Structure 1
Amino acid sequence: MTDRYTVISADCHAGADLLDYRPYLEKRYHDEFDVWAATYVNPYEDLVADTADKNWNSERRLAELEADGIVAEVVFPNTVPPFFPSGSLMAPAPTAEDFERRWAGLRAHNRWIADFCAAAPGRRAGVFQILLNDVEEAVKEVRWAAEAGLKGGVLLPGTPPGSGLPELYSSAYDPLWAVCAELGVPVNHHAGSASPPLGDEPAARAVFMVETTWFSHRALWHLVFGGAFRRHPELKLVLTEQGSGWIPGVLEMLDYYHGRLVAAATKATTAESKFGAGLAARMGDAPSQVWRDNCFVGASFMRPHEVPLRDRIGVDKIMWGSDYPHDEGTYPYTREGLRHAYARVPRDEVAAMIGGNAARVYGFDLDLLDPIAAKVGPTVEEIAEPLEQPPADATSPVFAKGASVRVW
């Protein structure tokens, strides 16, 4: 057994530089793209800074991740695809015209990310994007992505209030769940993808920070109560960059409502009976059982106070991520972040959470990655040493004072 861990980040981000998406667009959109790109002003400082090429510079990216002890990554989108006003995570298509153009832009991103992953065979699992306005088109894109080798799975958009789309529990999306289950394509739901627009006032931005993970959590109970996992037992749902400490309490709450409503449905004389009508037949097992069978958490940089909950979450469910290249990520202090969270945790559990589980969910080949990790991965001894003081210039919230409360 090697004395180093094989670290796979289950939460990284990448995308093409704006003009580099053009070759991946269908030619009929080229003129329109040229007009759009000539006037587009990128709203994200990190995407116009000197370090923006971390998103698309393959060699730089590999070097920086290896220097940080990481040998492979699940790659979520980051840059702005054609015809989107901002990052695609937060921009559903409000009109038919918007949908047509943005769908073309997302398909261009998907084809770019396939090439980007192919530039580092076995080291990247690219997450491809869809829109929910046209489920039939989304299903076709899932099939294309599976054939193209994008092992990171599909990024499930949110259906925030006001989107005009059916809620995620709707049977309208059943063809999507069916094809993902059939092809073994993980369904990823990332934080920030389901919040409604709140405006630009300072209070709105603070409220967004408070509420954004909750809106993202909703995908769990929508798919559970909607019966997606009963109808498609092979379906896998991954909730990424939403924290992990909330999961045990939410599962207890969902089990409570499930049991209460199913029981009420047998008592036709009660006012509550209508709320449980048909629920048991539609969703099947209790939510906590569905979690154990079908769900995972891309916990990103797991905080020390979340680690003692790992048995209740499921050690086999947790996948660590660095969030590279975001400044709230752990780079270049991933080793320190791992020490901060996982010192004193048994070696086999650490190995599962920081690499083994991601390899299993996303299909990474450990026979390929382990020899690389033997050269660049953090040592077992190093991660076992508690971190006494976070790096002074670290920007990741994992080192924030409130994240340091440890409950053993």
Structure 2
Amino acid sequence: MDRYTVISADCHAGADLLDYRPYLEAKYHDDFDAWAATYVNPYEDLLADTADRNWNSARRVAELEADGVVAEVVFPNTIPPFFPSASLMAPAPSRTEYEQRWAGLRAHNRWLADFCAQAPARRAGVAQILLNDPAEAVREVRRTRAAGLTGGILLPGAPPGSGIPELYSQVYDPLWAVCEELDVPVNHHGGSASPPLGDEPAARAVFMVETTWFSHRALWHLVFGGAFRRHPGLKLVLTEQGSGWIPGVVEMLDYYHGRLVAAATRATTAESKFGAGLAASMGASPSEVWRDNCYVGASFMRPHEVPLRDRIGLDKIMWGSDYPHDEGTAPYSREGLRIAYAGLPPEEIAAMTGGNAARVYGFDLAALDRIAAEVGPTVEEIAEPLKEVPPDATSPAFAPGGSVRVW
């Protein structure tokens, strides 16, 4: 092995706003025209001259190859039709708007299938769904899988006050069942589960403190809700939420799991009511569920997280560049890999930078190896510790300090 085959498990793409129109059912065209005419994009990066990185396939391939990346898992980024922003968590206030938003997500998914087809075997597109109607979500999972989207689904958040059932609810069992049946990964991306915080000056700081925690909730909701007991083949991927928090949180969940199961067998204790019925419904311990069913999209993995890789699970970690976001490592992904992984055994680096993602998302690793033989970072290069951070690097991967942070 002279070069690493690097698959980014966290990239983002989407169509330019008006380019979604051909992918909408015709009956929505007039409504789309009216909506698009008044829409104001809230995101500066989608107005900049670099916005076409989201939809310009040739530019994207060239920039990723220059960055040493040969394949990508493609999460959404631009705004789908009829949405005020990219957030999927808030329920639509009316039936009409709900139907329009589903039409917008189907349009994005159709566009994404075509976009992935422009770089065969190099893109695993992540389909978007809503949770308000699980039967409709199941239909979209089947349709997008048949259309060639291999990145799974993006699981929306269900924050407090959202108006939809919490993720531990068995109402979602049909969705987990079809994902298990079709081997469709369930992806939960950071930032997609926080409740609205308002416009007070402290809102941004509170968001930064809480946003990853709200994203982590999907793990313990599905564990304690018994989703993995009823669907043992279900795969959950937690992406761009960090990875250093995992060992401690899994240990904490194991503690509560054991405590609740034990309490259920002692009817005279004050805690017995909390454990009643849980012993049978939860199934395996959280650490066993993590071992058998869960993965982490460890976007731009930080140096302080790397020593925890064995506790996280070396076969669980999938590096991501977060292209084309400002917080991503591009165009310095080689330097990002060096600052995190220099000095590690090459076989471990190969697993975290490509092998694990190929297994989870079904990439043809042999085919990608042939591309990486030309553009992938060399083993010798990544083995060299990074002594100087590029002065214009914007990714938190290069932030100083952080040696004791584990969340």
Same fold (TM over 0.5): yes
Deviations, residues 330-351 of structure 1 (Å, cap 9, x unaligned): 0000000000000111111100
Query: Which runs of structure 2 are paired with 1:103-252 in the superposition (5 Å)?
Result: 103-252=102-251
Letter in 2 for 1:19: L
Tell me by how many angstroms 1:288 deviates.
0.3
The 8 Å contact of residues 245 and 306 in structure 1, kept in 2 or not, is answered as yes
Deviations, residues 266-292 of structure 1 (Å, cap 9, x unaligned): 000111001011111111110000000
Deviations, residues 214-267 of structure 1 (Å, cap 9, x unaligned): 000000000000000000110000000000000000000000000001001000
The 2-side partners of 1:90 and 1:226 are apart by: 20
Question: Which residue number corresponds to residue 64 of structure 2?
Answer: 65
The 2-side partners of 1:96 and 1:189 are apart by: 26
Tell me by how many angstroms 1:98 deviates.
2.3
The 1-side partners of 2:90 and 2:331 are apart by: 30
Question: Which residue number corresponds to residue 296 of structure 2?
Answer: 297
Tell me by how many angstroms 1:92 deviates.
4.0
State which drifts further: 188-197 or 92-101. 92-101
Tell me by how many angstroms 1:93 deviates.
2.7
Letter in 2 for 1:391: P
What secondary structure sits across from 2:297 in the alignment?
strand
The 8 Å contact of residues 106 and 130 in structure 1, kept in 2 or not, is answered as yes
Query: Which runs of structure 2 are paired with 1:9-88 in the superposition (5 Å)?
Result: 9-88=8-87
Deviations, residues 64-95 of structure 1 (Å, cap 9, x unaligned): 00000000000000000000001134554343
Question: Which residue number corresponds to residue 325 of structure 1?
Answer: 324
The 1-side partners of 2:142 and 2:12 are apart by: 23
The 8 Å contact of residues 85 and 91 in structure 1, kept in 2 or not, is answered as no
Letter in 2 for 1:186: P
Question: Which residue number corresponds to residue 285 of structure 1?
Answer: 284
Tell me by how many angstroms 1:389 deviates.
1.5
Deviations, residues 33-61 of structure 1 (Å, cap 9, x unaligned): 00000010000000011000000000000
CA RMSD of aligned residues (A): 1.2
Deviations, residues 309-341 of structure 1 (Å, cap 9, x unaligned): 000000000000000000000000000000000
Superposition TM-score, scaled by structure 2 size = 0.98
The 1-side partners of 2:405 and 2:274 are apart by: 40
Letter in 2 for 1:249: G
Superposition TM-score, scaled by structure 1 size = 0.98
The 1-side partners of 2:102 and 2:352 are apart by: 35
Unpaired stretches in structure 2, ≥5 consecutive residues: none
The 2-side partners of 1:281 and 1:111 are apart by: 41
The 2-side partners of 1:406 and 1:166 are apart by: 33
Letter in 1 for 2:368: L
The 2-side partners of 1:341 and 1:119 are apart by: 32
Letter in 1 for 2:66: A
Tell me by how many angstroms 1:398 deviates.
0.5
Tell me by how many angstroms 1:305 deviates.
0.1
Tell me by how many angstroms 1:406 deviates.
9.8
The 8 Å contact of residues 235 and 294 in structure 2, kept in 1 or not, is answered as yes
The 1-side partners of 2:72 and 2:198 are apart by: 33
Question: Which residue number corresponds to residue 383 of structure 1?
Answer: 382
What secondary structure sits across from 2:322 in the alignment?
coil
Identical columns (%): 83
The 2-side partners of 1:381 and 1:303 are apart by: 20
Letter in 1 for 2:125: G
Question: Which residue number corresponds to residue 266 of structure 1?
Answer: 265
Tell me by how many angstroms 1:7 deviates.
0.1
Letter in 1 for 2:113: A
Letter in 2 for 1:374: A
The 8 Å contact of residues 89 and 162 in structure 2, kept in 1 or not, is answered as no
The 8 Å contact of residues 90 and 192 in structure 1, kept in 2 or not, is answered as no
What secondary structure sits across from 1:402 in the alignment?
coil
Letter in 2 for 1:234: G
The 2-side partners of 1:288 and 1:311 are apart by: 13
Tell me by how many angstroms 1:299 deviates.
0.6
The 2-side partners of 1:19 and 1:395 are apart by: 30
Letter in 1 for 2:101: R
Please state if 1:368 is matched with 2:367.
yes
The 8 Å contact of residues 194 and 215 in structure 1, kept in 2 or not, is answered as yes
Number of equivalenced pairs: 406
Cα 1:165/1:91, change in 2 over 3 Å: closer
The 8 Å contact of residues 71 and 372 in structure 1, kept in 2 or not, is answered as yes
Question: Which residue number corresponds to residue 3 of structure 2?
Answer: 4
The 2-side partners of 1:400 and 1:210 are apart by: 17
State which drifts further: 53-62 or 275-284. 275-284
The 2-side partners of 1:51 and 1:90 are apart by: 27
What secondary structure sits across from 1:401 in the alignment?
coil
The 8 Å contact of residues 221 and 254 in structure 1, kept in 2 or not, is answered as yes
What secondary structure sits across from 2:71 in the alignment?
strand
The 8 Å contact of residues 327 and 395 in structure 1, kept in 2 or not, is answered as yes
Tell me by how many angstroms 1:96 deviates.
2.4
What secondary structure sits across from 2:249 in the alignment?
helix
The 2-side partners of 1:167 and 1:293 are apart by: 23
State which drifts further: 65-74 or 394-403. 394-403
